[in-house]
A and B are shown apart, each in its own frame.
Chain A
Amino acid sequence: MDTGELIKKCVAKNPEAWREFIERYEDIVARSVRNKLSKLGAKFPRDEFHDIVQEIFLMIWENNRLAGLRDIRVLKNWLIMVALNKTSNYCRRRANTKPPGTVSFDEHVNSEGMLVSPESVIPNGEPDAGDIFESRELRAVVKKATDSLDHRQQLAFKLYVYERLRLKDIAAIMNIPANTAATLVRRARIEVRKKIDKYSERNTRE
Chain B
Amino acid sequence: MNNRICPSEELLSAYLTGCLDPELRKHTEKHLGVCTECRRLIAETYEVFQKDRAREKNKALFGRIKKDVWLVGACVSFIVSFLFPKYFAQFLVGCFILSIKWIIDSKTTKMLITIYESCKRDDKNEPDKNHSHSDKHY
Contacts and interface: CB of A to CB of B under 8 A. Distances in A.
Nearest to A75: B13
Contacts of B42: 173
Contacts of A140: none
Contact of A84 (B10, B14, B48): B48
Interface residues of A, number: 36
B33 A158 contact: yes
Contact of A77 (B16, B29, B51): B16
Contacts of B49: 76-77, 80
Contacts, number: 87
A162 B52 contact: no
B19 A173 contact: no
B46 A169 contact: yes
Contacts of A158: 33, 39
Interface in A54-82: 68-71, 73-74, 76-78, 80-82
Contacts of B17: 71, 73-74, 77
Interface of A: 28, 31-32, 35-36, 39, 68-71, 73-74, 76-78, 80-82, 84-85, 147, 149, 151-152, 154-155, 158-159, 162-163, 165, 169, 172-175
